[in-house]
Chains A and B, each alone.
Chain A
Amino acid sequence: MKTRNFKLIILEVLGAALLLLFATPFFVVLINASKNAVEVKDFPLSLPDKPLQLFLNIAEVFGRDNINYLSSFLNSIIITTISLIAIGVFSAMAAWVLVRTKKTYSFVIFMIFLSGMVLPFQVVMLPLVRLMKTLKDITGIPFKDTYHGIILAYIGFGAPLSVFLFHGFIKSIPMDIEEAAIIDGCSKPQVFFKIILPILKPIFVTLLVLNGMWIWNDYLLPLLVLGTGGDIQTLPLSVAFLAGNYEKEWSLILTSVLMAAAPVVILFLFAQKHIIKGMTSGAIK
C-alpha cells in the first residue's frame, strides 16, 4: 500500500512539472506583454516592474492606424459567428434530406461531399482565388475582400465534415417521430426546424467547437481571400501584419498575440467540457 502511494505522489509531481512546462510559454507572453520595449529586450524572463504597462501596450496596439486592431477583432467575430451558424444549419439541412431520401442520387451526392474531406486546401487555393475574380467579371458581384466571399468559402470547406457528422447522427433518429409530426400537420420544413434541429443539438455543439477553432485561427484562407492590408482583416492577418511591420517591437507583438489568444482561452475555461468533447469526438468519427 505504501509503495503505491509513493508511486502516485511521484506521478503527481511529474504531472505538475509537465503542466508547468506546458504553461511556461503562456506565462512568458503574459509577463512580456506587460513590459515596455526596453525591458523586453534586456530582461525577457524577469517579472514586469509595472504590470499596468499591459494596458498601455493594449492602447498602443489599438492606436496604430495601419493595424486597425479593433476592426479586425470585430471582423473575426462576425466572420466566425456567421460562418459557424451557416455551416451548422445548412449542413444539417443537407444531411437530413440526404438521409431521408433513399435514392441513388442522394448517395452519390453524399459521396461527393465525403470526397471533399480528403482535399488539402493547397490544391484548391490557387484556382479559388482566380474563380473569385472570374465570378466578379461575370456577375459584377465582388467576392474577394468581402464578408460573403469568405463566408461562402467557409461554408463550402466546412460542409463535408459537418454533413458527414450530421449524416451519421440523423440515421439514428427514428423515422416515427417525423411521421407523427407530419400526421399532426407539420410541413416538411417545419419537421426539420421544429423537431430534427433540436435533437441535433449535441452534434451541433461539437461542430461549433471544431469549426470555430478552425475558422478563428485560420490564416491561409483569409490571407488569400481578404489579402493583407485590405479593408476587412481577421485577427491572424492583423497579428501577422503587425509582426511583419514592427519586427523588433516584441512588447507590441506579444500584446497583440495575447489579445488574439485571450478570447479562445477564456472561452475554453468556461466551456472546457464541451470543447474537449467536441474536438475529440469529431476526430474519432
Chain B
Amino acid sequence: MRNFGNKLLYFLISFIIILILPFILIIRIFEKIIKKDILVFDKNKERTPVGRFIHDKWLGESYSAQNNRVFVYFLFPSFGAFLLFVALPFLQGFYFSLTDWTGLNTGSEKFVRFDNYISIFKDYKFGYSFYRTAIYAIFNIILINVVAFSLASLVTQNLKGKNFYRAGFFMPNLIGGLVLGYIWKFIFDKVLFSFGGMFAPSLLIDGQSAFIALLVVVTWQYAGYIMMIYIAAIQNIPQDLIEASQIDGANAWQRLKNITMPLVAQAFTVAMFLTLVTAFKQFDTVVSLTQGGPATLLPEVIGSIYNRSFAVVKSLDLISINIYDEAFTYNSLGIGQAKAILFFIILLAIALIQVYYNKKREVEL
C-alpha cells in the first residue's frame, strides 16, 4: 500500500514537472543567449527522497533525466496538437450530443439526455440519408474496384505506353473533390447538355440520374488511385507461379481466377476499406456538383419505416452533407453532433466487419 502511495506521489510530481518543463526549456535557451547559468543543480547536495527523484529523473544532468526531458519535448508538439484539436473535441462531442446546443445558446445549453438521439431515430431525412449513403457506398465500392482492377490488369500487360497510361489514369486523383465537382458540373450542365437526347435536361436535375452522375465522377476520380494499389499487388505475384500455370495449360481466365485474385486479396482488403471509408465521408464533390442534390420523393422502403407515404428529400443528401446541414443550416449543433457520433459508430462497425471478413480470405505466400 505504501509502495502504491509512493508511486502515485511520484506520478503526480512527474506530471507537474512535465507542465513546468517548457518554461525550463525557455530558461535554458535564455541561459545560452546571455551565456550565464541561472538554474544550477548541485550534484552533491543532500536531498529528501522526493527531491532526489526530481533531480535524478527530471531536472538533473543524469542520463535518465536527459532522456525523460527529451521524451517530453519531442512528444509535446504533435501529441499536444493532437490532444487539443482531435482528442479533446472528440470527447467533448459525446457531452454536446446530449445537450440542446444550438448556434444561439452556445455556452448555456441544457442537458437533455438522449433526446437528440431519439429525435434522430424519428427523423425520416436522416433515415433516408443513411439509406442513400449505404447504397452509394455499395455501388461505389463495386464500380471503383472493378474499374480499378481492370485498369490495373491492362497496364500490367507488356504495353508500350503503360507508364503513360498509369500516370493518365492517376491524374484525376490529384485534384480536390471540390474543384473536380465544378469541372463535372460544367460537363453535365453544358457539354453533355449540348448533345441533347438523354443528356438534356441535365443529368443533375433528376434525383436518380444525379446519383448516377455522382458515381461516374467519383469513379473517374478514384479509380486511378485504387488501380495503383492493385498494380503494386499484381507486380508482387511471383513470375514462376504464372509460368507454371502456363505450362500446365491454364487459360487467361483460370489464371486470373486461381492465381491473380487470391494473391491480390490483401490489396483487395485495402482497396475495399479505402473506397468504403471515402464513400461514407463523401462531402466536397457532392457540394460542388449538386449542393446536396435535386429534390426527389422519399423511397417507399424508407417511407414505410417512418409511416410517411409522401415526403420530399434531397436526392444526394449523404450522411456528411446531412450532418453539415443540420449543424449549420438549421443551427441545431447538438443534433448534428449526435448524428456525427452515430455516423462514427456505424462507420467503425462496418469497417471492422469488412476488414475482418476480408482478412479471413487472404492467402499467405
Q: Point out residues on A near B: beta carbons under 8 Å.
A: 8, 11-12, 14-16, 18-19, 22-23, 25-26, 28-29, 32, 40-41, 43-45, 86-87, 90-91, 93-94, 96-98, 101, 106, 109, 112-113, 116, 118-128, 130-131, 133, 152-153, 155-157, 159-160, 162-163, 187-189, 192, 213, 216-220, 236, 239-240, 243, 250, 253-254, 257, 260-261, 264-265, 268, 272, 275-276, 279-281, 283-284
Contacts and interface: CB of A to CB of B under 8 A. Distances in A.
B176 A219 contact: yes
B183 A236 contact: no
A167 B84 CA distance: 22
A105 to B, nearest CB: 9
Contacts of A239: 178-179, 182
Contacts of B9: none
Contact of B74 (A8, A94, A187, A218): A94
B151 to A, nearest CB: 7
Contact of A122 (B74, B161, B323): B323
B74 A126 contact: no
B169 A279 contact: no
A265 B172 CA distance: 9
Contact of B183 (A28, A91, A152, A272): A28
A133 B89 CA distance: 12
Please classify how large the interface on chain B is, using the bins under 10, 10 to 19, 20 to 34, 35 or more. 35 or more
B178 A219 contact: yes
A24 to B, nearest CB: 8
Contacts of A163: 78
Given A44-B191, A283-B229, A219 B89 contact: no
A30 to B, nearest CB: 11
Contact of A41 (B190, B270, B320): B190
A11 B154 contact: yes
B158 A125 contact: no
Contacts of A123: 90, 93, 340-341, 343-344
B182 A19 contact: no
B308 to A, nearest CB: 26
A12 B159 contact: yes
A213 to B, nearest CB: 7
Given A16-B161, A18-B165, A119-B344, A253 B186 contact: yes
Nearest to A143: B85
Contact of B171 (A26, A120, A162): A26
Given A120-B281, A219-B283, A156 B165 contact: no
B82 interface: yes
A86 B171 CA distance: 27
Interface in B243-297: 267, 270, 274, 277, 280-281, 283-284, 287-288
B70, B179, B270 pick with most chain A CB within 10 angstroms? B179
B154 A217 contact: no
B228 A189 contact: no
